Amino acid sequence: MADSWYAVKLRFVILLETTGGEDVNESLYLLRSDGFENAFLRALEIGRSAETEYLGGTGERVRWRLKDVVTLDEVRAADLDGAEVYSQFASLGEGEHYDFDHKFQPELSKPRQTGI
């Protein structure tokens, strides 16, 4: 069987030495695998390799630990160019409203980079 592409969302808990877990971070990774079970094992490997510990700005230890494999999906695309790998519904911001016939101008967007 040929390798397929998978998208996996991993959830990390950020633990502070003095207060414990307060925040989570969710990261999306792409990986190749020959099947779902092996993709899950690869997701665990990627997540565990991303775990880290360091001294924060206040001098206390900070740990990132893999908590969950949140989602694992085969990306059903022969070519990944333009393939959707993540989608999430969210509410508009406070006071933000658009009429039904509003004309958006996405060409004026100024995209940020995630630092990947």
Contact 45, 51 (CB under 8 A): no
pLDDT (tens, 9 = 90+) of the chain, 116 residues, equals 578 899 898 999 999 998 888 788 888 999 999 999 999 999 999 999 999 999 999 999 999 999 999 999 888 777 777 777 776 667 778 888 777 887 888 888 887 765 55
Statement: the pTM of the whole predicted model exceeds 0.85? no
Q: Is 109 helix (H, G, I), strand (E, B) or coil?
A: coil
Rounded to whole angstroms, the Cα distance separating 34 from 74 reads 11
All structural domains of the chain with their residue ranges: 1-77
Cα angle 93, 21, 7 (rounded to 5 degrees) comes to: 65
